[in-house]
Amino acid sequence: QGGNNAGHTVVVDGKEYDFHLFPSGIINPKAISFIGNGVVIHLPGLFEEAEKNEKKGLKDWEKRLIISDRAHIVFDFHQAVDGLQEVQRQAQEGKNIGTTKKGIGPTYSSKAARTGLRICDLLSDFDEFSSRFKNLAQQYKSMFPTLEIDVEGQLKKLKGYAEKIRPMVRDGVYFMYEALHGSPKKILVEGANAALLDIDFGTYPFVTSSNCTVGGVCTGLGVPPQHVGDVYGVVKAYTTRVGIGAFPTEQINEIGDLLQSRGHEWGVTTGRKRRCGWLDLVILKYAHMINGFTALALTKLDILDVLDEIKIGVAYKLGGKRIPYFP
């Protein structure tokens, strides 16, 4: 799920890579990387990311990357609309959501409205694709009169991308079925974003537009629930958040500054400073209620090394009473 709104910094053999759409496993020459149907793909972003990482030494990625034919496409106008919606929210409500302006929300909106276009549409009849693309562009122009869209220019670029990705595209459902039932394979699924950004279970409306909890494995790849084995929760030794939204353990003081600077807490996608605070066990337990972790991967414990004392959020009070859940 998700798109190039999420960012993962991966360091291997002293080399630092930034991934947004690429699965982190793309570095491993022995692994096949697969982008599932739940992901929304901005094609210019994908190739820009490829180019950046090729300069850092990533080789032959196109031989190891498979893309689901059912993944939805993020268009440039989705990204423009994302920015316009944020400006609108700021003007109307005095606050925005703090999106990455990568067009993720508008693309999932198109998907839910059944006007979206998928990789399979791009690779089949291009005339049919073009007319649907024009209709979608027209819908957005009627909603946002200031929006300018170079329809012909975008279609020309998309036609070029279609040929570049064609060899990588497969029927994603059958691909996963074969991976699960063919010769034994180790399958690792990587989700973008965090549990508290989940569209259903996160701190709505300050969330992303997809299910970044474990259910996304089933819906975003077509993997039946009985095939989900171990679930690893990745958690920092302190809590961070990019953008606005509730954050009870946040430290807007020298502790927060220390965590931010020592932990290099910058959003990989936006370059925004991450808000930092003490570890919140209430949200960690809540994430566990939903995902049923079989193990935790605790990261960044060393960032706390310089502190004589560390604090941990253990409970929330509502109306003076402790509550056993995340409200």
Please identify every residue annotated as catalytic.
111
Beta bridge partners of 178: none
- What is residue 192's three-state secondary structure? coil
Which residues, in sequence order, are bridge partners of residue 239?
277
- The dihedral over CA atoms of 68, 84, 268, 37, expressed in degrees to the nearest 10, equals -10
Are 37 and 67 a contacting pair, CB within 8 Å?
no
Q: How far apart are CA 84 and CA 12, in angstroms?
A: 38
Give the DSSP letter of residue 302.
G
Could you check whether the bond before residue 184 is cis, i.e. omega within 30 degrees of 0? no
- Residue 230, C-beta contacts closer than 8 angstroms, at least 6 positions apart: 294, 295
Q: What is the Cα–Cα distance from 190 to 239, expressed in whole angstroms?
A: 20
As a whole number of angstroms, the distance between CA 85 and CA 101 comes to 9
Task: Give me the half-sphere count of Cα atoms (radius 13 Å) on the Cβ side of residue 249.
Answer: 22
Instruction: Give the torsion sign (CA, 258, 262, 267, 270).
Output: positive
CA distance 32 to 25: 8
How many Å apart are CA 191 and CA 25, to the nearest integer?
12
- Beta-carbon contacts of residue 224 (< 8 Å; ≥ 6 apart): 218
Residue 301: CB atoms within 10 Å: 11
**Cα separation values, 25 from 185, 224, 227, 255, Å:** 14, 22, 20, 34
> Per the structure block, which two tokens stand in for 27?
């570095």
